[in-house]
Amino acid sequence: MSNFYSNTVLSDMISTISHYASRPEEFWEGTKDHDVSQNIEALFRHLSEGAHSQILDFGCGPGRDLKQWTDRGCDVIGLDGCERFCEMASAYSGCEVWQQNFVELDLPMHRFDGIFANASLFHIHRSELLSVLTKFHQTLRKDGVVFCSNPRGPNIEQMNGDRYGNYMDVEGWSEFFTQAGFMACEHYFRPPGLPRHEQPWLAMVWRKQ
pLDDT band at 8; cut points 50, 70, 90: confident
Return the number of other C-beta atoms located less than 10 Å from residue 25's C-beta. Answer: 10
- Sign, Cα dihedral of 149, 82, 12, 124: negative
Which residues 6+ apart lie within 8 Å of 158 measured at CB? 164, 165, 167
Return the number of other C-beta atoms located less than 10 Å from residue 160's C-beta. Answer: 11
Mean pLDDT to the nearest integer, 131-151? 98
Residue ranges in the chain assigned as alpha helix (H): 3-21, 24-31, 37-44, 64-71, 83-93, 126-139, 170-179
* DSSP code, position 168: -
Closest CA to 53 of 123, 126, 143: 143
The counts of H helices and E strands in the chain are 7, 9
Which residues 6+ apart lie within 8 Å of 94 measured at CB? 70
When the pLDDT of each residue in the chain is averaged and rounded to a whole number, the result is: 94
pLDDT band at 32; cut points 50, 70, 90: confident
Contact 85, 23 (CB under 8 A): no
Residues in a beta bridge with 142: none
- Residue 68 has φ and ψ, to the nearest 5°, of -65, -35
| pLDDT attached to residue 5 | 46
- Amino acid present at 112: F
| pLDDT attached to residue 7 | 79
Q: What's the pTM value of the predicted model, to 2 decimals? A: 0.94
Closest CA to 10 of 103, 132, 134: 103
Mean pLDDT to the nearest integer, 103-124? 97
Which residues 6+ apart lie within 8 Å of 150 measured at CB? 119, 121, 122, 166, 167, 168, 173, 201, 202
**pLDDT, tens digit, 9 for 90 and up, residues 161-175:** 999 999 999 999 999
- Amino acid present at 188: Y
